[in-house]
Amino acid sequence: MLTPNRFFQFLLCFFPLHVHAKTIETKGHVFKIEEENLLAYLQKKLSSSWSEKNYQSAIQKIFVKAKLPEPVTFLKEAIRKRTFYFDPTYVVQEDVKTPQGMVLIQKGYSYNPLEKTKLSSSLLFLDGNNEKHIAWAKTQKDLCKWILIRGNPFDLEDLEKRQIYFDQDGAISRKFQLKNVPAKISQDGLVLKIEEFPISDFLTEEIIHE
């Protein structure tokens, strides 16, 4: 049986966060709240209000959601090849100032993170329930991270002996304006190249090479 301590350690695997130091202003006075480790905070909450039944129920819900996350329904099956580019450059919309009014960053300043760092691996977006998508992903020769938009990431991870990710709520897909899968994101200079592949093209190539 899971103890309260082990339960919250499990929680932190999904939410590796800390409650950061912050200030609260009240009638001109500023009170500092010391940074508090989230695990300690949750354990304190458990001792004060949570029962054995509470945390066993909570962990069951987390396991279910982790093993069977909600599918990303707005992504469709690609029926034609589509290639476009994503520029990650960020432009400051207004002056960033100190509390004393000194301008630290001027409005209009732009920054592209790809000038300082590189995408460590390509990103593959695929349906984990579609065997054709999985076969396509295996053909990619460069270093890739698999990101599911549907399916059980734990089962596929055990089957393929590799780390599998899941695009929770389609947040990454939305960020990069994906519409169809399977898709691949790779770096091309200072922009990201995004390709959506109709799986029928992949199957045709496989037949030709046989």
| Interval 176-190: pLDDT, tens | 999 999 999 999 999
Q: Is 174 left (phi over 0), alpha (psi -120 to 50) or beta?
A: alpha
pTM of the model: 0.66
| Domain containing residue 160 | 76-207
Higher pLDDT, 30 or 172: 172
* pLDDT at res. 24: 31
Query: For residues 149 and 169, what is the distance between their CA atoms, to the nearest angstrom?
Result: 9
The residue behind tokens 């432009």 is 91
In a domain? residue 180? yes
Average pLDDT rounded to a whole number, residues 192-202: 90
Query: Would you say residue 129 lies in a domain?
Result: yes
Q: How many domains does the chain have?
A: 1
Q: Which residues contact 160 (CB under 8 A, 6 or more apart)?
A: 134, 146
Name, of 57-61, 147-151, 205-209, the range with top average pLDDT.
147-151
Structural domain includes residue 15: no
Burial tier of 178 (Cβ tally within 10 Å: 0-12, 13-18, 19+): buried
In a domain, 57, yes or no: no
Of the pLDDT bands very low, low, confident and very high (cuts 50, 70, 90), residue 208 is very low
Rounded average pLDDT over 83-104: 91
Q: What is the pLDDT of residue 49?
A: 57
Whether residue 92 is contained in a domain is answered as yes
